[in-house]
A and B are shown apart, each in its own frame.
Chain A
């Protein structure tokens, strides 16, 4: 246990150290520009000249200004501390001030994204499971559906997302809830479909023959053998599916017009040049994904335990 914790912490520490080290070269230009405007002397003196020189040279020639790169309002790369502070400012601090659902609160935006993720996950999982059942039942359906499922994943979702939003408003669907869930399910259904097909086909010939000797019906074969045998596969797919659904929901918030949701925060942060907002939204998304995957993982553990499987 301590050994696992130690290796996890070592990796984490390494990431933080590399991140801190990267801040200096990434931010040196912005720091020098700022110092230049404040009337301090930097080498080379003009922004145009500085553009010709590498970050490493700038750092060597202006070592006294490196530290300033760690405390910028609009850094190229914020430090972990800055991101942490911004995250706290837009989550915990908002809660303390009683403004949890303010438009500046990431809890509010996270909740918006979470709702789309949930509906997208539900829709995608349903499509995936029903598709898998159909594919396993009939060879014809497999040959006519599977190629489209594979092709669908080759189309970049960022190209498709604006079209889905435009089309859904054309057919008179108000708001972004539905198109976002649709985009989310688009990414989510595929891993569920593939995993479930594999799971439903996992029973061995002997297990299937056994039911044949009982002269069991197709429905019985499905309920008593294929379905329970597929559950471990299903849960593995659900973990990939929920993360994909979250990515889909965020992508659905990117096309112009969205004002709430983590995706909108990222886009707005980009447009207004506030990298801290982008980074904190990114981290909020990552934390949310982690929580969702962990939830499914725990459910899997408990359920499969109950079913007598050693998971």
Chain B
């Protein structure tokens, strides 16, 4: 099987200097993410999963090791707008309508006006928000806001999607629904997705690869290839296969914890 590498981290380390001494947010993390993969990062808080994602996005500068995105440095990748980033909170600008929020990256990147209109229409349909273009963020529910922020990240041509606990603040029912939609979206767009979560079922349901991380210092304790088929209805979560994978993730998390 020949696969291209989208993101490659080698011995990546990041140490924050604080008043209480250095904090090792990441230590010697190495990982390959292939093009078209859906990789979940799971671990307790402080394990560095968000920091790792921010390193990929060049929002954080590693203090050691190297990271490449699409074969170039994370900085060059950011400058060439190689990825869309979805934050923990939708982070829509409150003074812009949903349509204009999705338009924001297109304006900044200088897409032609007709192309902008066409893209906004397409991605809002993709996330099931057609007809909400003229609404302001506060007029939408939390789940709809988060979908709008995903649409915003999909509007421009980036083949990588970085998602930092995007559904963390939503309730279980909305979350299930969005998970299902996200899988369909991934199938349709064939993007490479890196997804940070603290929910085991979410990680197992969504990913092709699950990266289990542990804290102090932040590191990878297990990488699990998900054997589930690509086509996943929601009730796959009741099958033995699903439960086996979830069990392995849980074991990995426990092993990481008993370290200290």
Residues of B close to A271: CB separation below 8 A: none
Q: When chains A and B are docked, how far (Å) is the Cα of A207 from the Cα of B136?
A: 17
Q: Is the CB of A213 within 8 A of B108?
A: no
B131 within 8 A of A: no
Chain A 192-206 against B: per-residue CB contact (8 Å), 1 yes, 0 no? 000000000000101
Interchain Cβ contacts under 8 Å between A and B, 13 examples: A209-B59, A209-B85, A209-B87, A210-B91, A213-B83, A213-B84, A213-B85, A214-B105, A225-B93, A308-B94, A308-B96, A308-B136, A308-B138
Q: Is the CB of B138 within 8 A of A228?
A: no
Q: When chains A and B are docked, how far (Å) is the Cα of A231 from the Cα of B96?
A: 13
Residues of A close to B107: CB separation below 8 A: 224
Binding site for A on B (CB under 8 A): 57-59, 78-81, 83-85, 87-89, 91, 93-97, 104-105, 107-109, 136-138
Q: Is the CB of A215 within 8 A of B79?
A: yes
Q: Is the CB of B93 within 8 A of A228?
A: yes
A302 within 8 A of B: no
Q: Is the CB of B104 within 8 A of A207?
A: no
A171 within 8 A of B: no
Q: When chains A and B are docked, how far (Å) is the Cα of A113 from the Cα of B158?
A: 59
Nearest chain B residue, comparing its CB with the CB of A221? B108
Q: Is the CB of A210 within 8 A of B85?
A: yes
Instruction: Kindly list the 5 A-B residue pairs having the minimum CB-CB distance in the complex, ordered from nearest.
Output: A308-B136, A307-B95, A213-B85, A206-B91, A214-B108
Given the interface contacts A211-B108, A212-B78, A216-B108, does A204 sit within 8 Å of B91 by beta carbon?
A: yes
Main secondary structure on chain B at its contact with chain A? Answer: loop
Number of interface residues of A (CB under 8 A): 21
Residues of A close to B84: CB separation below 8 A: 213
Q: Is the CB of A215 within 8 A of B95?
A: no
Chain A 73-84 against B: per-residue CB contact (8 Å), 1 yes, 0 no? 000000000000
**Cβ of A51 to closest chain B Cβ, rounded Å:** 65
**Cβ of B180 to closest chain A Cβ, rounded Å:** 26
Q: Is the CB of A214 within 8 A of B59?
A: no
Q: When chains A and B are docked, how far (Å) is the Cα of A206 from the Cα of B84?
A: 14
Q: Is the CB of A215 within 8 A of B91?
A: no
Q: When chains A and B are docked, how far (Å) is the Cα of A213 from the Cα of B85?
A: 7
**Cβ of A303 to closest chain B Cβ, rounded Å:** 10
**Cβ of A215 to closest chain B Cβ, rounded Å:** 5
B95's partner among A204, A212, A309 (CB-CB below 8 A) is A309
Nearest chain A residue, comparing its CB with the CB of B80? A215
Given the interface contacts A213-B78, A216-B108, A224-B108, does A206 sit within 8 Å of B87 by beta carbon?
A: yes
B138's partner among A212, A220, A225, A310 (CB-CB below 8 A) is A310
Q: Is the CB of B85 within 8 A of A207?
A: no
Most buried by A among B80, B88, B95: B95
Residues of B close to A206: CB separation below 8 A: 87-89, 91
Residues of B close to A308: CB separation below 8 A: 94-97, 136-138
Known A-B contacts: A210-B91, A214-B81, A308-B138. Give 16 more (CB < 8 A): A207-B93, A209-B59, A210-B87, A213-B78, A213-B85, A214-B105, A214-B109, A215-B78, A215-B79, A224-B93, A224-B107, A228-B93, A229-B95, A308-B94, A308-B96, A310-B138
**Cβ of B61 to closest chain A Cβ, rounded Å:** 12
**Cβ of B172 to closest chain A Cβ, rounded Å:** 24
Given the interface contacts A224-B104, A308-B138, does A207 sit within 8 Å of B91 by beta carbon?
A: yes
Q: Is the CB of A212 within 8 A of B104?
A: no
**Cβ of B97 to closest chain A Cβ, rounded Å:** 7
**Cβ of B204 to closest chain A Cβ, rounded Å:** 28
Most buried by B among A206, A213, A216: A213
Residues of A close to B58: CB separation below 8 A: 212
**Cβ of A133 to closest chain B Cβ, rounded Å:** 19
**Cβ of B106 to closest chain A Cβ, rounded Å:** 10
